[in-house]
Amino acid sequence: MGNTVPSLFAAIVAKDPSLPLFTFYDDASGERIELSGATLANWVSKTANLLVDGCGLGPGDQATVWLPPHWQTAAVLLGAWSAGLAVAYGEPTADGADVEFASLQAVEAGTPAGPADRFVLGLAPMGMPLREVPPGWTDYVADVRQHGDHFPGAPVTADTVALVDPDGTPVGQAALIERAAARAAELGITGGRVLVDADAYPWPVDWLLAPFTAGASIVVSTHTDLAKLPARAETEQATHLVGPTV
């Protein structure tokens, strides 16, 4: 699987790009969207190209991400890691950020605006762009679609910083993969198709990277109606549930 997030993700997609890799449910809006490996890889490549070609960023730079569990969040995170950026997830300030990604809800709540490159995500069903974009921000969905479907790759190595922990500790790509693999073992994820209640497990290491290190495809459920989980697991042919009962 490799010792960087880009190599891990590429290996998973390569197994069969046409198969469903990431399925997303939002019980508040009723949204369900299913992305094949090829489709998610397309969004990831576009995001990486946005960061490298559009923002002039790369290894050594930092992205601050204020986004809830979502399929677009997966694209942002994987795109940032593919471009070699370090991610500070859910940080309360914009200190140290070279680019910001925030939900519309976070922006409206007063998310600090630090760097020049700031992208807002409406997280609307089917990836629809925003009707009104907050001043000082760029609509991620509208902008990312203008970038290329293939990302030629950045010099991402095992020790390239991938994550900045809340206490400021830098975590390299290989160390992040190791952390995610350990978390997969703790959660009992061994492969197959995993249904994750992201309300209970909102940290992206749990709902995104841990399943990938186990070679699993992912079903992420948000604003979850717990009564629907058993039927959802059966419908999605999930082999493992990571939820409140775990």
Which CATH architecture does the domain made up of 5-242 adopt?
3-Layer(aba) Sandwich (3.40)
Instruction: For strands 193-197 and 217-222, give the pairing.
Output: parallel
The answer to whether the CB of 98 falls within 8 A of the CB of 59 is no
Q: Is the CB of residue 206 less than 8 Å from the CB of residue 187?
A: yes
Q: List C-alpha distances in Å: 231 to 89, 160, 195, 226, 244.
A: 32, 41, 11, 10, 15
User: What's the confidence (pLDDT) of residue 93?
Assistant: 67
Reported pTM: 0.96
Exposed / middle / buried, residue 73 (Cβ in 10 Å: 0-12, 13-18, 19+): buried
Instruction: Decide: 62 and 91 in contact? Cβ < 8 Å.
Output: no
Q: What is the pLDDT along the chain (246 residues), one digit of tens a residue?
A: 679 999 999 999 999 999 999 999 999 999 999 999 999 999 999 999 999 999 999 999 999 999 999 999 999 999 999 999 999 998 766 678 999 999 999 999 887 767 789 999 999 988 899 999 999 999 999 999 999 999 988 779 999 999 999 888 999 999 999 999 999 999 999 999 999 999 999 999 999 999 999 999 999 999 999 999 999 999 999 999 998 754
Extents of the domains making up the chain: 5-242
For 151, left (φ over 0), alpha (ψ -120 to 50), or beta? Answer: beta
The predicted pLDDT at position 94 comes to 65
Distance from C-alpha of 66 to C-alpha of 47, rounded to nearest angstrom = 16
Spatial separation of the C-alpha atoms in residues 11 and 17, rounded to whole Å:
10
Residue pair 81/58 in contact (Cβ under 8 Å)? The answer is no
pLDDT confidence of residue 246: 46
